[in-house]
Amino acid sequence: MSARPSRVFFGAACAAALAVGSLGASVASAAPPGDPQVVPPGQRADVGELTVSGSVEQIYVTHARPSAAVEVSGPRGFRAAGTTDLNGGLLFRDVPAGNGYTVTVAGQNGRFPVRVLSPDEHPSQRFYDSQDLDPSEGYLTTRDGTLLAYQVALPDPEVFGPGPYPVVVDYSAYTPSISFFDGVGTRFPALGYAAVGVNMRGSACSGGAFDYFEQLQWLDGYDMVEALAAQDWADGVALVGKSYPGISQLFVASTQPPSLEAIVPGHVIGDFYRDVAYPGGVLNYAFAAAFSRDQDDRSAFPSSYPQVNQRAQTDAVCLANQGLRGQNASMAEGVFGTPFDGDFWQERAPERLVDDITVPTLLVNAWQDEQTGSAPAKLLDRFSAGTPVRLIGTNGDHGEYYRGDVWGEIVRFLDVYLGERDDAALAEYEAQDDVTVLLEVDRAGAAASRFDLPGFEAAGEGRRFALGRDLR
């Protein structure tokens, strides 16, 4: 990823900022300007403090004065400058990883030393062990100090005992940390699983700036898995969900969190450009264009989600976490402004990454999916040899994941791979063919029949045709 030191995003939000200066420094903005106070890793700066910190190929400033000049100096002659937005936030993207960066902020004395992380630089286990996450709701800390909002729904201890419980996670930029979608908070606990909803950075009550499926969101997912796995109420972690939280599983699993045991991605995409945004090279106004505009409104503050605005009125951390919303990267601008395939789309194409996934995977695909289509079935052949991966294919729309026979297959998969292992059940499960096709599934999700296939390899030679003026 090339450095664009002059690329600074401007905007306005309506809240103060909270940050964790694990890679930088923090000073109380209400106090007279002085030398930066270094905040140790894993500790939080007080709400309302100016914070300057390094991230993964980024540097951010929160809760500075509005319109404050900021300058960055770094190794090998690196220089960048910008001005904070009306909320006092500023984000520098595509900064080369390394030590030796210093940041100056107008109105503050001295220089703030920061370190910029590499994507391959993961925290130690002690970082995750130090996080004591309440099994109801709260905030978990990522490697750059950003706080991600979460909520937990535990199984009934009178039915399933006191725990620990196997954990399933719904990770998206909707509102899983406030309100579970698709009954996640009830259907999984009813089976003995602890359900956790986590909001991506830059969404709902989580800190940071939003950039649709940027690499930092994948790495946040790595930190999320490891922090949850370290809790005494958790016994193994899997990722679940369809559509947005389905797609996110592919990115997170590609980073190979050591404690991740399985994923169940449903109704996903493999190639954003071809599957959803520009199928056949034509902009998909019916879904992609509308979704991107809606996502910009959802991740802004105030948000188009009323529950986020309501939570911010009573939760000081949620309010403070809006400090970088003015630095959000517009998803709509990316979709409308990138009509041709290239780096923007390929960096966000799960099909390029699934060969890095090593955990057991169950894909769910509906042939008539009106939002993500049926092309993701092709992902099956892109996984590396040795990774246990199966596909459930079915007729139906974007909502088949939690219905009838498909849901039964998901439960069976999780029973095998998450929590206590039964070697006999594992051997029986992995002896199946890789593909199960459900036929004539009705509104309740019941299939009239089914058949299995070893894979989706097509026989014969394919031909590619290029359209032009001469169509003879």
pLDDT of residue 441: 85
- 98 and 189 co-located in one domain: no
End residue of a domain, out of 100, 121, 142: 121
Question: Helix or strand or coil: residue 455?
Answer: coil
CA–CA separation, 130 and 380 (whole Å): 38
Residue 7 lies in a domain: no
pLDDT of residue 25: 59
Number of domains in the chain: 2
The full 3-state SS of 350-386, as one line of letters, equals HHHCHHHCCCCEEEEEECCCCCCCCHHHHHHHHCCCC
Number of H helices, E strands in the chain: 12, 19
**Residues in the chain with pLDDT < 70?**
1-48, 458, 469-472
Q: What is the pLDDT of residues 348-359, one digit of tens each?
A: 999 999 999 999
Whole-prediction pTM: 0.88
CA–CA separation, 349 and 268 (whole Å): 11
- 33 and 161 co-located in one domain: no
Residue 15 lies in a domain: no
- CATH classification at residue 90: 2.60.40
Domain that holds residue 88: 25-121
- 113 and 217 co-located in one domain: no
- 266 and 409 co-located in one domain: yes
pLDDT of residue 35: 32
Residue carrying structure tokens 């003995």: 192
- Asked whether the beta carbons of 223 and 203 are under 8 A apart, the reply is no
Question: What is the side-by-side order of every strand in the sheet holding 165-172?
Answer: 137-141, 147-153, 194-199, 165-172, 234-242, 260-266, 361-366, 389-394, 435-439, 449-453
- 211 and 88 co-located in one domain: no
Residue 278 lies in a domain: yes
- 349 and 210 co-located in one domain: yes
Q: What is the pLDDT of residues 393-408, one digit of tens each?
A: 999 889 889 999 999 9
In this prediction, what percent of the chain has a pLDDT beyond 90?
75
pLDDT of residue 36: 33
pLDDT of residue 13: 32
pLDDT of residue 447: 86
- CATH classification at residue 203: 3.40.50.1820
Residue 338 lies in a domain: no
